[in-house]
Amino acid sequence: MAEALTDDLVEEILLRLAPDDPVSLVRAAAVCMRWRRVASTRSFRRGFARRHRKAPMLGFIANLRDGHEGDRYDYVARFVRATRFRPFCPERRHRRALDARHGRVLLTTVPWKPTLEVWDPVTGELRELPSMPQTVTSWNAAVVCAAHGACDHLDCRRGPFLVVLLDSGPEMMHLFVYSSETGAWSEPIFGPPSPTYGVEMVPTALVGNALYFLIDATESILKYDLAARSVSVIFMPTGFTSDFAALTTTEDGVLGFAKLEKSTVEDGGLLGSSRVKCELRLLSMHPGPDGYVTWAENGSIELGSLLNVDASIESDYVAFAHGVGIFFVGTEDAWFSIDLKSGRVMEEDYGNGDTQSIVPYSSFYTPGSFS
Amino acid sequence: MEVDKGKGEAEETRKVAEADRDTVTLKSSDGKLFEVSKEAAARLSTVLAGMIAGGSIDDNGTDLKQIGSEALENVVDYCNKHANSIPSAALISSSISFNTAPFKEPEEWERKFVDRLSHDALFDLVEAANFLGMERLLDVTCHKISEMMKGKSPDQIREVFNIKNDYTKEELEEIRQELAWAFYDD
């Protein structure tokens, strides 16, 4: 019987619980002390992540404006569940989520002087970063495990991390790197001249050792190489115009972007009526000679029929969950997640308030994080 | 097709084993003999592969003192079924360490194979698979057991798995408080 199973066999069984069902692992750990001990070792955490490879999207952070009637101006970063997992403190008031990676969420205080915080929703750990090294204007920031290149990112949430801050000025773009090991910001790394339209405050993409930031009203992308500490600029496709784009990545490490495009089409009615068609267009970047890149169209998805909504889809925001390949788009009164692989579409309930943007959060959950 | 040898067929099985080198004969802790495809046994079990390669296979029945006849019958049944099924690319490609290999979903026949087992038989089979170093069978049986836990409360899991609760009331309450999302619907 199960009582007689060795620790090794209990581990083998618990390793096979589905990562998108964190309830089962928690309940297994509550069965008896031995099971909890087995499930909370470092080797179990690593084995679990290694076995399932792809961290599930536990939820996403909705950046909301919330408040009482007539006072809807409080900024809130609210954790919205995609699984049963709920962080100890799911709502961070006067905060906005900028980015999430390797189990950590990067928050900034809003609307006053920005202070950055790194939050791990699974362990509940919150770390406030020292003041930014300069007064920022149009800026964005990213969080990443510090052992880039060497780490498999299966269980590095307790390890050192970096925060990369990109500010559009003065005159030249400035990058600063905060290291959790030294607890300090680096000297500035200078980039190209300040872009006309500044830096987009949308989640970055990590491909290999490079972090990509959207800049200049989504006309170009800034690439920061973490290993070489070098900065370069990549231009979006010629003639590209869009209200908004989201950076994407594929499983085999190709950078891309997604944008929403609206067009008016005849709907074939007798009276010559027309309707607005809203498409999610996907492009991917491929390196060419002399450092130039080419962009390839990877198809498009018509959202009107997929979401089964009228053409009230907002074209100024798309979010993408790296690793799991899930897109988020919003209409005037709802947000939808679209899983490209399975074709599953879900209306997301983020509670009260107006969602401004979404930062997906993917991570393994194992009971090693019990207090 | 059912390969169901070994129930009171000891004599006959032994003769077949001696005559036909394509099979090996295994002996359970309670003395029953089972015949299994040598190729499948060597491919599916690292322990049996080692014994076959090392020449320590006994034609009169290789003693497997740790495994009862019901579990051994299931092991043999699994091997023979496996020998007859078309191996998928997923099953033959894995040479990486078991604990770290990404999980491959059980095939339809493997699912059926474990679904028909009682809880006791399943747990005995897990132990047998582990003892014999049968990675794939261990994978399939552990997966089945993990599925049995889905949607159950800790109390229900303890009941199904016959496990004694050694937490104090206070400790359990603390876990429930801290991780309420895993215990209460909302």
Tokens of A9: 């066999």
Contact A9 B126 (CB under 8 A): yes
**pLDDT the model gives residue B81:** 87
Give the per-residue pLDDT at A365.
Answer: 95
3-state secondary structure of B97: coil
Confidence of residue B96 (pLDDT cuts 50, 70, 90): very low
- pLDDT at residue A243 greater than cutoff 80: no
**pLDDT for B184:** 86
> What pLDDT band is residue B13 in, cutting at 50, 70 and 90?
low
Chain B residues whose CB is inside 8 A of the A85 CB are 181
**Per-position b or e across A80-91, b if 16+ CB within 10 A of its CB:** bbbbbbbbeebe
Q: Quick check: B87 pLDDT over 90?
A: no
Domains identified in chain B, total number: 2
Residue A291 has pLDDT above 80, yes or no: no
Q: Burial of B83 by CB count in 10 Å (0-12 exposed, 13-18 middle, 19+ buried)?
A: middle
pLDDT value at position A19? Answer: 95
Strands (E), B57-171: 62-63
Q: Within 10 A of A155 (CB to CB), how many other CB atoms are there?
A: 22
Q: Indicate whether A3 and A72 sit together in one domain.
A: no
CA–CA gap between residue A96 and residue A116 (Å, rounded): 10
Same domain for B79 and B29: yes
Q: What are the CA-CA distances from residue B63 to residues A154, A360, B59, B72 (Å)?
A: 42, 56, 10, 11
Give CA angle at A84 (A78, A87), nearest 5°: 45
User: Average pLDDT, stretch A289-303?
Assistant: 86
What residue in A sits closest to B130 (Cα-Cα)?
A: A9
B40 and B116 belong to one structural domain: yes
A182-236 tens-digit pLDDT: 999 999 999 999 998 899 999 999 999 999 999 988 789 999 999 999 999 998 8
Q: With an 8 Å Cβ cutoff, is B148 touching chain A?
A: no
- Count other Cβ atoms within 10 Å, centred on residue B8: 10
Nearest CA in chain B to A53: B102
One domain for residues A355 and A345: yes
Q: Give residue A206's region: left, alpha or beta (phi > 0; psi -120 to 50).
A: beta
d(CA A311, CA A117): 38
Q: Is residue B1 part of a domain?
A: no
Extract the tokens encoding A237. 């496709």
Q: Cβ–Cβ of B149/A32 closer than 8 Å? A: no
DSSP string for residues in B130-148: HHTT-HHHHHHHHHHHHHH
- Residues A111 and A170 both lie in one domain: yes
Q: B54 and B91: one domain?
A: yes
Residues B103 and B170 occupy one common structural domain: no
Verify whether the Cβ–Cβ distance B182 to A26 is below 8 Å.
yes
Angle between helices A7-15 and A42-52 (to 10 degrees): 40
Note whether B83 and B171 are same-domain residues: no
Nearest to B163 among A32, A51, A84 (CB): A32
Kindly list the residues from chain A whose CB atom is less than 8 angstroms away from the CB atom of residue B162: 1-3
> Residue A170, preceding bond cis, omega within 30 degrees?
yes
Question: CA of B126: which chain A residue's CA is closest?
Answer: A9
Is residue A159 domain-shared with residue A220, that is, in the same domain?
yes
A30 CB neighbours in chain B (<8 A) are 154, 167, 172, 175-176, 183
Confidence at residue B1, expressed as pLDDT on a 0 to 100 scale: 43
Identify the burial level of B55 via C-beta atoms within 10 angstroms of its C-beta, where 0-12 means exposed, 13-18 middle and 19 or more buried: exposed
Q: Tell me the one-letter amino acid at A168.
A: S
Of A6, A32, A52, the CB nearest to B164: A32
A248 and A209 inside one domain: yes
Q: Are residues B121 and B174 in the same domain?
A: no
Collect all residues from A whose CB is shorter than 8 A from any CB in B. Answer: 1-6, 8-9, 12-18, 21-24, 26-35, 47, 50-53, 84-86, 88, 370-371
Please name the residue that has the structure tokens 């939820």.
A59
DSSP state, residue A364:
-
Candidates A168, A95, A184; CA nearest to A131 is A184
Q: What angle do CA A253, A321, A359 make, to 5 degrees?
A: 130
CATH of the domain at A203: 2.120.10.30
How far is the alpha carbon of A15 from chain B, nearest alpha carbon, in Å? 8
Task: Give the pLDDT confidence score for residue A27 in this predicted structure.
Answer: 95
Determine the structural domain holding residue B58 and report its residue range.
Answer: 10-150
**Domain shared by B142 and B166, yes or no:** no
**Under a CB-based contact definition with an 8 Å cutoff, are residues A298 and A284 in contact?**
yes
Of B172 and B97, the one with more pLDDT: B172
Q: Do B142 and A9 touch (CB under 8 A)?
A: yes
Nearest to A316 by CA among A282, A254, A358: A358
Closest CB to B143: pick one of A16, A29, A33: A16
DSSP tag of A291? G
**CA angle in degrees (0–180, nearest 5) for A6-A7-A13:** 95
Mutate to test the interface with B, among A25, A27, A40, A364 (most CBs of B within 10 A): A27
pLDDT, mean over chain A: 89
SS3 sequence of A199-219: ECCCCCEEECCEEEEEECCCC
Mutation to test the A interface, candidates B124, B140, B181, B183, most A Cβ within 10 Å: B181
In a domain, B186, yes or no: yes
Asked if residues A154 and A168 have their Cβ atoms less than 8 Å apart, the reply is no
In three-state secondary structure terms, A35 is helix
Q: What angle do CA B10, B12, B17 make, to 5 degrees?
A: 90
- Cβ(A239)–Cβ(A261) below 8 Å: no
A9 and A101 both lie in a single domain: no
Name the CA dihedral angle for B148, B153, B156, B161, rounded to a multiple of 10 degrees.
Answer: 50
Specify the pLDDT at position B3.
47
A95 in the same domain as A207: yes
Same domain? A179 vs A49 = no
Where is pLDDT greater, at B19 or A52? A52
The distance in angstroms from the start CA to the end CA of chain B is: 49
- The verdict on residue B134 lying in a domain is yes
- pLDDT for res B186: 66
Contact B179 A50 (CB under 8 A): no
Of A53, A70, A93, which residue is a domain's last?
Answer: A53
pLDDT, tens digit, 9 for 90 and up, residues A347-360: 998 888 788 899 99
- Residue range of the domain that includes A204: 54-369
- How many domains is chain A built from? 2
Alpha-carbon span A353 to A96, nearest angstrom? 14
Residue scoring higher pLDDT (A318 or A354): A318
Is B98 in the same domain as B171? no
Q: What is the ipTM of this complex?
A: 0.84
Angle at A221 between CA A344 and CA A127, to 5 degrees: 75
